[in-house]
Amino acid sequence: MMRDDAMTKANQPAPAAAASRSVIRSMIIATVPVLLLVQLLASAGLEISNFWSQMEQLDGRMARLAESRAQLIAEPLWKMRYAQVANVLNEILHDESIASATVYDDTGAAVASVPTQPAGHAAAVVLRPVNYSNGNMAVQAGRISIAYSYDTLYANAGKALERLLVVGLLATLATLIALRMSANIFVGKPLAVMMSAIQRSKRDGRAYQAEIHANNEFGQLAQAFNGMQHTTSHALERLRHLAWHDPLTGLPNRRSLTEQLAIIGRTAYAPHSLVAFCFIDLDDFKGINDTFGHDAGDRFLVHISERLRSAVDTDDWVARLGGDEFVVIRPEVRDERAARAFAERLLEAISEPIRLHDKQVVPRASIGLAVRRADDPELTHLPALADIALYHAKSKAPGTIAVLNEELQHDYRRRRELELAIPAAFAERQFEVWYQSQVDLVSNEVVSLEALIRWRHPDHGIIGPVEFLPLIERSGNSSRLTNYVLTDACHALKRLAAAGRPHIRIAINLPPSELADQSFADQMQEICARFGVAAASLELEITEGSLINNIASASEALRRLRRMGATIALDDFGTGYSSLAHLRRFPLDKVKIDKAFIREIPDSAEDKAIVGVIASLAGTLDLTLIAEGIERAEQARAMVEMGVMFGQGYLYQAPQPLEAALALLARGQARPVGEVVTLAIPISPSVVPEPAD
């Protein structure tokens, strides 16, 4: 009855302070008997603190060990020297806390493992990425995992606690009844309510109120806690959503992907059911941003995300990984054919026109498709596997689907091998510059040579540029290779002048990156000066794409190169999307007709008509035409009849090293139309010192 009266009076401010003092006084009276246990409890606390400190020290030591091992194995792991990786792991065998150590490559496959001792009941694992960098690129080569045990710490802590327990047992029994009653009344119940609200909030992510109606300190704390829960619950929910979702489209993000794959593996309808993983990359999204602006580009991405949502079923999962990359997962498909049909449906949904700034834009996308069983250990590596297929799809043509298979994985491993071999190829001068004649189709006189790069790999033999040039560009070595070819071409010009043919030009292919690099003109001038050749002896061949994608910078760069005396030629004309009329803004001297239009001439009336129109427009614009890919005499005669006076192709000369090309020139002309000549000249790389970087 007296307690009820006290709680009623506590509703007023003044009595609230008295009630607070009463709680403090009651706690002091109740805890006096247990003061005798302070020393014992303090000792126990110190022991526990020491135990946790030792655990943290062990965790820190293992983390530093994993990081140091990751640095040591980065290069051998990236270069697939797995024996060296295993040797590094063997160095940690002496540590009795370590249970095992494993190294995985970038596809998730274990390449080295060192089990040292069985793990006890308390084990932990530290996982660190293995990052490799060689100055030109930085990649994640794999991961290192170290498992270690807390058994020794537990054993020592257990013995100490047993001693403390025996010493304090009698004293604890003496004060147990008083401490239990006071703690339960004044502390236990309020804290239980508070902890229940906190745990439920942590578990569900919602704001739960602490139902405490006392007017003491715990009542005041509950009021403050409830106010905080109400204020922060919405902000926490928003932050939680942003952590796992893309803020632009609202789709799950890359962080959600790994968790989703794990969920699919655990909740699959059957262990052998097939999972379809579609890796989607929008084609030419940069063009959308450049043409319509980034705000329109964001709206474009939102449209695409909505279409993907509407094209999938309830069980399917759609995410945006960033930029123009999306992922769609179907957790169960019948077979690979059904998975491909699903990907085609996604591609069809994406390809519906979108209106931006009152203009209709037709989206295009490429899809890499990987299909794996739900219980497959590689399930978590589906993004990397589908990315291999996506690379193949984008290399074929925009708007295509590629399904991962053994051939694509073999191609990926070959690309990786070649990419790793690029530094050695430069150092050992495995790159060779070969030359092919460009001739006057009437007189058969050689008017110029085109420099063409080849890679003489020690294991794979001669590799063509179609295969390795994308790897050169991705590794950041385009400028270095261009200087390599330009140096060899200037050396060849000196040889031509010494052979009495100073009028013959040499054409080199200029990658798009060099047009954007304003320093290329200075580099070309320096190399020409070093060899004592004129820039007017060089012809620079560029593609349509490099012009159209960089109109302003390309135009300025070409005008500067032309002022230096170089001839500018447009290569592979007809394979892009430009026109001669559109290209009038560029300082061009020559246009090379792509071999696709020459191949069926003179049989194809359509190709003859196209070449005739090109020849007519080129004459109007005062551009010289060169026909590529001439392989038959009748093609050469047809070119002359249509007004194309220059050409190149296997009818006259296959690409050959410099010595073979000079031997052909020594005969006085290219081989006559219809004549087949084989030169018995050994193929060897040009020996020209590479310019210093």
Residues 549, 555, 558, CA angle at the centre, nearest 5°?
115
Beta bridge partners of 354: 361
Q: Are 468 and 418 in contact (CB under 8 A)?
A: yes
If residue 315 lies in a helix (H) or strand (E), which one and from where to where?
none
Distance CA 262, CA 374 (A): 10
Q: Are 463 and 520 in contact (CB under 8 A)?
A: no
Q: State the residue for tokens 């715990």.
A: 218
Per-residue model confidence (pLDDT) at position 486: 94
Quickly list H helices, 586-686.
605-620, 633-641, 658-666
Per-residue model confidence (pLDDT) at position 175: 58
Q: Are 307 and 301 in contact (CB under 8 A)?
A: no
Q: Which residue has the higher pLDDT, 29 or 275?
A: 275
ω into 602 cis (within 30 of 0): yes
Per-residue model confidence (pLDDT) at position 40: 67
Residues 273, 275, 278, CA angle at the centre, nearest 5°?
165
Query: Where are the domain boundaries for CATH 3.30.70.270 in the chain?
Result: 254-404
Q: Residues, the chain, total? A: 693
Asked if pLDDT for residue 11 goes beyond 60, the answer is no
Distance CA 549, CA 602 (A): 34
Per-residue model confidence (pLDDT) at position 267: 74
Asked if pLDDT for residue 9 goes beyond 70, the answer is no
Q: What is the mean pLDDT of the chain?
A: 80
Residue 136 CB coordination number (10 Å): 12
Where does 254-404 sit in CATH, by number?
A: 3.30.70.270
Q: Are 664 and 679 in contact (CB under 8 A)?
A: yes
Q: Are 257 and 365 in contact (CB under 8 A)?
A: no
Per-residue model confidence (pLDDT) at position 218: 72
If residue 313 lies in a helix (H) or strand (E), which one and from where to where?
none
Asked if pLDDT for residue 550 goes beyond 70, the answer is no
Residue 228 CB coordination number (10 Å): 11
Per-residue model confidence (pLDDT) at position 116: 60
Of 250, 208, 255, the closest CA to residue 233 belongs to: 208
Per-residue model confidence (pLDDT) at position 90: 82
The side-by-side arrangement of strands in the sheet containing 123-133 is: 110-115, 98-105, 138-149, 123-133
Query: Collapsing DSSP states into helix, strand and coil, what is residue 566?
Result: coil
Which fold, 415-666?
TIM Barrel (3.20.20)
Per-residue model confidence (pLDDT) at position 533: 93
Asked if pLDDT for residue 68 goes beyond 90, the answer is no
Distance CA 302, CA 291 (A): 17
Asked if pLDDT for residue 361 goes beyond 50, the answer is yes
Per-residue model confidence (pLDDT) at position 159: 77
pLDDT (mean) for 180-199: 70
Q: Read off the pLDDT of residues 33-65 as tens digits, 9 standing for 90 and up.
A: 665 566 667 677 777 788 788 888 888 888 888
Distance CA 163, CA 610 (A): 98
Query: Where are the domain boundaries for CATH 3.20.20.450 in the chain?
Result: 415-666
What percentage of the chain's residues is helix, strand, coil (to nearest 5)?
55, 20, 25
Per-residue model confidence (pLDDT) at position 688: 37
pLDDT (mean) for 194-202: 76
User: Would you put residue 688 in left (φ > 0), alpha (ψ -120 to 50) or beta?
Assistant: beta
Residues 190, 196, 199, CA angle at the centre, nearest 5°?
140
Per-residue model confidence (pLDDT) at position 538: 93
